[in-house]
Amino acid sequence: MKRALYLLPVAIFAAMALLFVKGLTMDPKAIPSVLIDRPVPEMALPPLPGRGEDTGLATRDLKGRVSLVNIYGSWCIACVQEHPYLMEYSKSGIVPIHGIDWRDDPVQGAAWLKKHGDPYDRVGVDPAPGRAAVDFGVTGAPESFIVDKNGIIRYKHIGPISPEVWNKTLLPIIRELQK
């Protein structure tokens, strides 16, 4: 009886420890933690149909130079709004812009680009439920991520890109990372 009393702390603690183990497993890495200042997650997204063999987006494609990764989808209305600007910035050649066609039908995603223009260097398809984008830390579309030369995500912009956002926020960061 008395010995059992002394075992009580171990017993309570064991129950707590089990709870914590459960708690940690309930919190898998896949939850959309925004990976600012973390490396781009491991991914190898297939290309859009009709856009060529090696035009998908993989982790290694984001290393070596500063790049902008833009999340879009053919269903996304605000993406149309930012698209002309992306076309413009893509032509300027300041930074390669890659796309992730998120939670979308690849055929529709490709058609959308034909209609509105294709600013992207590489486009990876990430159909629903959009695992790769979730790993990226995407919470909606459009969103844009600046990735540095080492493949580390440096900045995340939520919402459409406007000239103001580009000139005041994104461009200075890109320029600084390119130095």
Partner 1 sequence: MTRKQRRLYFVLLGLATLGVAVALVLTAISDSLVYFYSPTDIVTQRLPEGRRMRVGGLVEAESLKKDGKTVTFKVTDVTNAIPVSYTGMLPDLFREGQGVVVEGRMEKDGVFQASEVLAKHDENYMPKEVADALKKSGQWNDGKQTHPSQPQ
Partner 2 sequence: MIAEIGHFALILALCVAMVQAVVPLMGARRGQASWMAVAEPASALQFLFIAVAFAALTNAYVTSDFSVMNVAQNSHTEKPMLYKVAGVWGNHEGSLLLWITILALFGFAVTLFGRNLPIGLKCRALAVQAMIAVGFLLFILLTSNPFARLEPPPLDGSGLNPMLQDPGLAFHPPFLYLGYVGFSMAFSFAIAALLEGRVDAAWARWVRPWTLAAWVFLTGGIILGSWWAYYTLGWGGWWFWDPVENASFMPWLAGTALLHSAIVVEKRDALKSWTILLAIVAFGFSLLGTFLVRSGVLTSVHAFATDPARGVFILLLLVLAVGGSFMLYAMRAPAMKMGGLFAPLSREGSLLLNNVLLSTGAATVLLGTLYPLIADALNLGKVTVGPPFFNSVFLPLMAPMAAMMAVGPMMAWKRGDLAGVLGRLKFVAAIALGAGLLVWFLQGGSAGPWWTGAGFALAVWLGLGTLVDLAERIGLIDAPAEALGRAARLPRSTWGMVLAHFGVAVFIIGLTASAAWTEERIQTQKIGETVMVGGYGVTLKAVNDVPGPNYMAHRATFEISRNGKVIDVMEPEKRVYRQPPRPITTAAIRSGIIGDLYVVIGDPDPAKDGHVTRLYFNPCIPWLWAGAGLLILGGTISLLDRRHRVGAPTRAHARGRRARA
Where does this chain bind partner 2 (CB under 8 A)?
Answer: 2-3, 6-7, 9-10, 13-14, 16-17, 19-24, 26-29, 33, 37, 148-150, 154, 169, 176-177, 179
Q: Is 141 in the site for partner 1 (CB under 8 A)?
A: yes
Site for partner 1 in 41-100 (CB under 8 A): 73, 75-76, 78
Long-range contacts of 103-107, Cβ-Cβ distance < 8 Å, separation of 24 or more? 103/73, 103/75, 103/127, 103/128, 103/129, 103/130, 103/133, 103/141, 104/73, 104/74, 104/75, 104/128, 105/74, 106/46, 106/48, 106/49, 107/49
Nearer to partner 2, 108 or 162 (CB): 162
Confirm or reject binding of residue 11 to partner 1 (CB under 8 A). no
What residue has token string 């059992």? Answer: 4
The site partner of 78 among partner 2, partner 1, none (C-beta below 5 to 8 Å per kind) is partner 1
Give the one entry of partner 1, partner 2, none that residue 106 binds, where binding means its C-beta sits below a cut-off of 5 to 8 angstroms depending on kind.
Answer: none
Residue of 11, 17, 20, 33 that binds partner 1 (CB under 8 A):
33
Assign 95 to helix, strand or coil. coil
- Shortest distance, position 86 Cβ to partner 1, whole Å: 15
